[in-house]
């Protein structure tokens, strides 16, 4: 497979040429499963591991490869094994705060052009969670598209109501509605994906991400799972992997995520809540926090019922969460640097 078919464009190719030099090959990480990698380059796919030097030089887990990354690799044993020497700078990324109490970034995927943020119309629909996903996507410099699945389970009027609710969150992104059962909307998804561009499916477990990929592939190549009567999925997909569709688009499937903690997401929050950012230009103080300050144009819009109060509340909540974690992260990094502790940390928390 040619590297351009894996998404390598001129800009990336130049960088790759410089960083990898004549001795290493350029390859893309196509799957990650608990610290084990699969990479694909001109000579095919091979399992890969990190070199000791790479690990030694890495300063945080965010620097470790993730699915979608471009890397400089050395193949050996007739191309059946490889080691990863370097990760090319990322154009875009998806990251979150690692789950649990620990304040650390978890890189989820990289070099994605468009993220399909998936929610099912039935059971799963949740505006607060949608906002979190949109922050994550905007923060990583990725274009979002909202995908509502399982439209076969709701009446058309209900679907209209859901779309309306999304619009009232100030979401300007395209919304596509699909059913994997009837096939409605699936061709619209296919049509929005271009050859050589990278897409990913983001959303809770059980919303139909993998089922959609199988439909696009035209077979049941990937495993999908039953949903319990509460609508909760069971994490059928367990690893992140990049799939090449017939028409040449690259699509990353991922397991559903339970926690979407905010860390370093300040910029993404401003972008995902563009309606609030715009209103904020009318605030009396340029550094207005839209909390209780006098002359706050954002609060005024809420009073006039032009901005949903719950939307502002969720903006404030996400901002507070991100700032809180940013502070803990900065404190910890400082301590880690003092003791040169990263490696220890990584080994303990590897996936």
Ligand X SMILES: Nc1nc2c(ncn2[C@@H]2O[C@H](COP(=O)(O)OP(=O)(O)OP(=O)(O)O)[C@@H](O)[C@H]2O)c(=O)[nH]1
Chain positions contacting ligand X, by CB under 6 A:
149-150, 152-153, 179-181, 205-211, 224-227, 233, 235-237, 255-256
Kindly state the smallest distance separating residue 296's Cβ from Zn ion, in Å.
3
Q: Are 69 and 29 in contact (CB under 8 A)?
A: yes
Interacting stretch for Mg ion, rule CB under 5 A, among 104-112, 177-185, 230-238, 298-306? Answer: 230-238
Q: Which of 237, 241, 314, 322 binds Mg ion (CB under 5 A)?
A: 237
How many residues belong to the site for Zn ion (CB under 5 A)? 5
When CB distances are held under 5 to 8 angstroms depending on the partner's kind, the choice from ligand X, Mg ion, Zn ion, none that residue 322 binds is: none
When CB distances are held under 5 to 8 angstroms depending on the partner's kind, the choice from ligand X, Zn ion, Mg ion, none that residue 196 binds is: none
Residues 284-323 within binding reach of Zn ion (CB under 5 A): 288, 290, 296, 298
Query: What is the rounded distance in angstroms from the CA atom of residue 124 to the CA atom of residue 227?
Result: 11
Q: Which of 92, 111, 210, 241 binds Mg ion (CB under 5 A)?
A: 210
When CB distances are held under 5 to 8 angstroms depending on the partner's kind, the choice from Mg ion, ligand X, Zn ion, none that residue 205 binds is: ligand X
When CB distances are held under 5 to 8 angstroms depending on the partner's kind, the choice from Mg ion, ligand X, Zn ion, none that residue 298 binds is: Zn ion
- Alpha helix (H) ranges present in the chain? 10-20, 52-57, 127-139, 156-168, 186-192, 209-217, 266-272, 274-280, 297-303, 309-339, 342-349
Q: List the structure tokens of 324.
A: 């809180």
**Number of other CB atoms surrounding residue 42 within 10 Å:** 12
**153 secondary structure, DSSP code:** G
Bridge-based pairing state of the strands 81-87 and 93-97: unpaired
When CB distances are held under 5 to 8 angstroms depending on the partner's kind, the choice from Mg ion, ligand X, Zn ion, none that residue 264 binds is: none
Interacting stretch for Zn ion, rule CB under 5 A, among 187-195, 210-218, 255-263, 279-287? Answer: 279-287
**Number of other CB atoms surrounding residue 334 within 10 Å:** 9
Q: Are 198 and 210 in contact (CB under 8 A)?
A: no
Binding residues vs Zn ion (CB under 5 A):
283, 288, 290, 296, 298
């Amino acid at each position: 497979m040619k590297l351009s078919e894996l998404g390598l464009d001129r800009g990336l190719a130049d960088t790759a040429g410089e960083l990898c030099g004549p001795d290493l090959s350029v390859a893309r990480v196509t799957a990650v499963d608990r610290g084990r990698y699969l990479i694909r380059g001109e000579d095919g796919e091979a399992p890969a591991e990190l070199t000791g030097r790479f690990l030694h030089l890495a300063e945080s887990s965010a620097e470790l490869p993730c699915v979608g990354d471009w890397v400089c690799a050395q193949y050996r044993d007739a191309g059946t094994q490889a080691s990863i020497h370097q990760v090319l700078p990322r154009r875009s990324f998806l990251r979150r705060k690692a789950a649990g109490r620990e304040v650390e970034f978890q890189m989820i995927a990289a070099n994605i052009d468009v993220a399909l943020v998936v929610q099912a119309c039935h059971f799963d629909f949740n505006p607060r969670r949608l906002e979190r996903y949109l922050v994550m996507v905007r923060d990583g410099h990725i274009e979002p598209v909202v995908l509502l699945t399982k439209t076969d389970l709701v009446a058309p009027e209900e679907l209209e109501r859901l779309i309306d609710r999304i619009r009232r969150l100030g979401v300007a992104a395209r919304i596509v509605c699909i059913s994997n059962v009837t096939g409605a909307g699936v061709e619209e998804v296919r049509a929005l994906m271009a050859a050589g561009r990278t897409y990913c499916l983001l959303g809770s477990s059980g919303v139909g991400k993998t089922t959609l990929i199988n439909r696009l592939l035209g077979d049941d190549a990937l495993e999908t799972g039953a949903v319990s009567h509460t609508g909760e999925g069971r994490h059928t997909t367990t690893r992140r992997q990049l799939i090449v569709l017939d028409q040449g688009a690259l699509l990353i499937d991922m397991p559903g995520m339970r926690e979407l903690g905010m860390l370093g997401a300040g910029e993404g929050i401003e972008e995902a809540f563009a309606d609030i950012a715009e209103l904020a230009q009318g605030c009396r103080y340029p550094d207005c926090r839209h909390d209780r300050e006098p002359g706050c144009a954002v609060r005024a819009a809420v009073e006039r019922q032009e901005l949903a109060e719950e939307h502002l509340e969720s903006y404030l909540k996400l901002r507070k969460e991100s700032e809180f974690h940013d502070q803990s992260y900065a404190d910890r990094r400082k301590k880690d640097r003092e003791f040169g502790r990263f490696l220890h940390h990584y080994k303990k928390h590897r996936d």
